Amino acid sequence: MTKADLISQIEDLEEQSSVLEPSEGERAALTRHVTGFAASFINRLSSTNAFQSKILQSVAITGNPSPLTDILELYNSEVVGTGINAASGGHLGYIPGGGIYAGALADYLAAVTNPFAGAYFAAPGAAAIENEVVHWLKELFSFPETATGCLSSGGSISTLIALTAARDKHGIKGTHVYSAVVYLSSHVHHSVQKALRIIGLEDVVLRSIPTDTRHRMDAQVLADQVIADEQSGLHPFLVVGTAGTTDTGAVDPLEALADITEKHGLWFHVDAAYGGFFILTDKKHLFMGIERADSLIVDPHKGLFLPYGVGAVLVKDRHAVLQSHFYTANYMQDAADEELALSPANLSPELTRHFRGLRVWLPLQLYGTEPFATCLAEKLLLVNYFRLGVQELGFEVGPDPDLSVSYFYYPFSGDSNHLNRLLLEQLHADGEVFFSSSQVDSRFVIRIAILSFRTKRSTVDAALAMVERCLQRVRSNT
Ligand SMILES: *Cc1c(COP(=O)(O)O)cnc(C)c1O
């Protein structure tokens, strides 16, 4: 091939692929469609059901181009119109999501500018923004400046990072695995067991510590169990406490757990994925002792109302976490630690990664922290407001919640578990707001979790009206 042929072929291909770099006018048109769609989505939120069950049509990739309007129409019917609307304030099930608009704009900027945020040398500013978010979190939870941490895709990956550091710090490998003991409360999130399995610790001895009447881990049982295990020749090494359980929003007695772990030289991990940011409210006292944890996870995509895909992990012993994740062995020297820890990729399984620091940093810069704190305080009051309302309808409720998750059930005469299950089916069939369910002490209960920034008093009033009409349907059907 002559040079002239080569040039002509390159020019052809350049021409054919130029669609990937639209002109400014074309970009503006595309952006207008998308922002128009987003605007109408947000405008319709308050009048749209929080839950819709639906048979999916096709979202197949045909390989051929389609107009953006068609794609958005498909997106609207197949994605926006199906399942739980997690952007809706009526999402009161599981742990509700967020999606503040400023977070979406930050994602847009991050995607357009696309810095390589995993490596400090490649994108020092982007790494600095992520590290600043970690720094802010360290201050929030009174972790020392020497602690390290990074942002992850969510609580599950954060847990993986923290427990891997615990494993490596305590040298739990080979035959040690079989005598190592891990202590969890019976309300621990399943991502902990999942992480243990992934990191090769599925054969450790797992102790499920019972909870008290407020669903908090019973510290006395834990203390006794650790001593019993030590005496029988096992090697206790890890205690997982939860600051805001998924089921009931309970905060374990962190100070008491820290006393036990300190006394016995155990790694103390705190799962604050859901509850952590309530430390910004007058519930701060419940978090006393969290600063004594060896590792801590918290999910900005929950308590900071950000779009899904951002968790955080803090680890006090930077050697432990670097040992698990750094990727250039020769650099593993004390002197280099400071710089190694500046690159998020050295603290996480990810190398190339989304610049997720921006979606935390930008909203915090734009609004300051106060609106986040007040919105969380509002959620705490709203759950109490719901509990009062549902009791007026004759329901039983769980104990006073530590945070913004609670549960309720109707004391039907007859098979109460079965009838409350029927009630949940009615609630899902109605769908105006969305509740999930759980088992608490073998009782079928309906959960309410208030965490969306869009959940307002009017939402709770609508939820109560819906509970009332669904209760009537169950009663008239049975
Ligand atoms: C949500 C949650 C997790 C898991 O976090 P993901 O972000 O969903 O991966 C872990 N622990 C608790 C207490 C949670 O609420």
Enter the tokens of residue 348: 């996480």
Average pLDDT over residues 270-287: 98
> Cα–Cα distance between 158 and 149 in angstroms, integer?
9
CB 160 within 8 A of CB 321: no
Cα distances (angstroms) measured from residue 337 to each of 228, 320, 321, 328 = 38, 11, 11, 12
pLDDT over 80 (residue 478): no
Dist. CA 189 → ligand 1 center (Å): 7
Dihedral, CA atoms, 184, 187, 192, 194, nearest 10 degrees? 120
158, 186, 189: which to mutate for ligand 1, most atoms within 8 A of CB? 189
How many DSSP H helices and E strands does the chain contain?
17, 13
pTM equals 0.95
192, 198, 274, 450: which to mutate for ligand 1, most atoms within 8 A of CB? 274
Question: For the segment 390-420, what is each residue's pLDDT rounded down to a tens digit?
Answer: 999 999 999 999 999 999 999 999 899 999 9
pLDDT over 70 (residue 18): yes
| Pocket of ligand 1 contains residue 275 by CB under 6 Å | no
Average pLDDT over residues 323-341: 63
Q: What was the pLDDT predicted at 338?
A: 64
Beta carbons within 8 Å of 108's beta carbon, 6+ residues apart? none
Residue whose structure tokens are 């759950």: 383
Dist. CA 43 → ligand 1 center (Å): 29
CB 269 within 8 A of CB 162: yes
Question: For the segment 159-173, what is each residue's pLDDT rounded down to a tens digit?
Answer: 999 999 999 999 999
Band of the pLDDT at 36, cuts 50, 70, 90? very high
Q: What was the pLDDT predicted at 262?
A: 98
Dist. CA 154 → ligand 1 center (Å): 7
Q: What are phi and psi of 243, to 5 degrees?
A: -105, 80
Ligand 1 atom 6, closest CA: 155
Dist. CA 251 → ligand 1 center (Å): 14
pLDDT over 70 (residue 333): no
